[in-house]
Amino acid sequence: ISKVAKHYNCDWSVVKSRIVEYQNPELTGETK
């Protein structure tokens, strides 16, 4: 179970960073 939870946490952190980049493109330096 801990392995699944760790995998989920990793995926969620990636998803969260993607959402942050989408909402705040200036953070990635890709201001359009």
d(CA 6, CA 3): 5
Could you tell me the residue range of the domain that residue 25 belongs to?
A: 1-32
Q: Which long-range contacts (CB under 8 A, 24 or more apart) does 17-21 make?
A: none
Q: Which two tokens stand for residue 19?
A: 């959402």
pTM given for the model? 0.42
Instruction: Please give the pLDDT value at position 22.
Output: 82
Instruction: Please give the pLDDT value at position 10.
Output: 75
For the chain, the domain total comes to 1
Instruction: Please give the pLDDT value at position 6.
Output: 80
- pLDDT by residue (tens digit) across 1-32? 688 878 777 788 888 888 888 888 676 665 54
Instruction: Please give the pLDDT value at position 24.
Output: 80
Instruction: Please give the pLDDT value at position 7.
Output: 74
Minimal CA–CA distance to 32: which of 24, 18, 20, 14? Answer: 24
